[in-house]
């Protein structure tokens, strides 16, 4: 089984979900006492959050690339960035590595197509909803993407950074997110991407008028599939 490198801690609440799903998927595939071979580099989210707020993406890219290289040095054969937003520096991280980086948007696009969906809504931070590194990558993978309005995005950001990344789940925020999902459906979305890895802590299937594509679960499942697959040339 191939070892997975996780660059996590952004926030640690969703990194827990990655670890759970990885091990559940490996156990389901291999059976018995099988569990995932994982190396985790858990960063100080306060440091990363400062980079986000000041727009210091160069420093953020360096911090994540260094963490990814430590995963590689510990034997990881694939690296996973356990956050949607920090894929803003995925190119820098990928360039530093000799092993593959499993991009979260590619995993989501594959999952959407496998379910027969071509139009998705995106529920994540304002950077994720507005910038090419994420929405553009989904589009290049053949998806039509719908995003919340600027006013809706302000509230989505507030909930993410003032509640979810601090481990708080509030019922009024759940209701507000459900209303946004309804408007994404009205715009034509066939499913909604929970495009912040903490949003799955808030929005449950029963809260949504659309099917959910939980980015944390989908990304972890893709990593588990990589881990248990036989390398090319091995029979």
Q: Which residues are catalytic?
A: 83, 196
Hey, which bits of 28-83 come out as E strands?
A: 38-42, 78-81
136's tokens:
């553009």
Q: What are phi and psi of 9, to 5 degrees?
A: 90, 10
* Helix (DSSP H) and strand (DSSP E) numbers for the chain: 10, 7
Between CA 37 and CA 77 the distance in angstroms is 10
How far CA 168 is from CA of 4, 5, 26, 171, 198, in Å, comes to 29, 27, 30, 10, 10
Q: Comparing C-alpha atoms, which of 116, 33, 91, 80 is closest to residue 215?
A: 80
Helix (H), strand (E), coil (C) string for 74-133: CCCCEEEECCCHHHHHHHHHHHHCCCCECCHHHHHHHHHHHCCCCEEEEECCHHHHHCHH
């Amino acid at each position: 089984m191939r070892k997975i490198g996780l660059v996590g801690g952004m926030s640690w609440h969703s990194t827990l979900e990655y670890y759970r799903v990885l091990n559940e998927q490996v156990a389901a595939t291999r059976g018995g006492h099988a569990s995932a071979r994982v190396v985790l580099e858990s960063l100080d989210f306060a440091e990363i959050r400062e980079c986000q707020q000041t727009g210091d993406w160069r420093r953020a890219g360096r911090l994540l690339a260094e963490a990814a290289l430590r995963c590689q040095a510990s034997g990881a054969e694939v690296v996973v960035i356990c956050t949607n937003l920090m894929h803003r520096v995925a190119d820098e991280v990928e360039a530093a590595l000799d092993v593959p980086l499993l991009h979260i948007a590619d995993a989501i696009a594959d999952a959407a197509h496998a379910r027969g969906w071509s139009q998705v809504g995106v529920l994540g931070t304002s950077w994720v909803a507005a910038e090419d590194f994420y929405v553009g990558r989904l589009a290049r993978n053949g998806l039509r993407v719908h995003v919340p309005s600027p006013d809706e995005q302000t509230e989505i950001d507030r909930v993410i950074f003032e509640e979810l990344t601090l481990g708080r789940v509030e019922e009024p925020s759940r209701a507000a997110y459900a209303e946004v999902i309804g408007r994404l459906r009205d715009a034509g979305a066939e499913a909604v991407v929970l495009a912040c890895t903490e949003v799955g802590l808030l929005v449950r299937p029963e809260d949504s008028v659309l099917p959910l594509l939980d980015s944390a679960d989908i990304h972890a499942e893709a990593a588990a599939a990589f881990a248990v697959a036989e390398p090319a040339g091995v029979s």
